[in-house]
Amino acid sequence: MQGIIKQKTGFKFGKFSLNVLERLGEINHNERTYKFVKVQTNDGLIYYSLRLYNKDHKFIKQFLFEPEIKDKICELLKNK
């Protein structure tokens, strides 16, 4: 696969990684952990990230969104 770089901690998709600025909380459920963090891209853009880790604490996937829509995302989740 093009654009995937193998590194010590696993696979990194794309050229640049995200820097975690702040850990905002986490939830454990069914031996998985959901972590909510604030991240910054290599370009200096700020996002919120909801990250999913398996029972072995290995990163599975994440959902990124702009800080400006945090309240709208919360409302969307509350309504379902």
User: Where does the pLDDT of residue 17 fall: very low under 50, low under 70, confident under 90, or very high at 90 and above?
Assistant: confident
Q: Is residue 48 part of a domain?
A: yes
Say how far apart CA 25 and CA 22 lie, in whole Å: 9
Residue 10 has pLDDT above 50, yes or no: no
Q: Is the pLDDT of residue 49 over 50?
A: yes
Domain containing 61: what range? 18-78
The pLDDT of residue 79 is 86
With respect to residue 40, please indicate whether it lies within any of the assigned structural domains.
yes
* In a domain? residue 64: yes
Total number of domains constituting the chain = 1
Distance CA 20, CA 3 (A): 22
CATH number of the domain to which 74 belongs: 2.30.31.70
| Strand ranges in 1-80 using DSSP code E only, listed in sequence order | 4-7, 10-13, 19-29, 32-40, 46-53, 59-65
Residue 1 falls inside a structural domain = no
Position 56 in a domain: yes
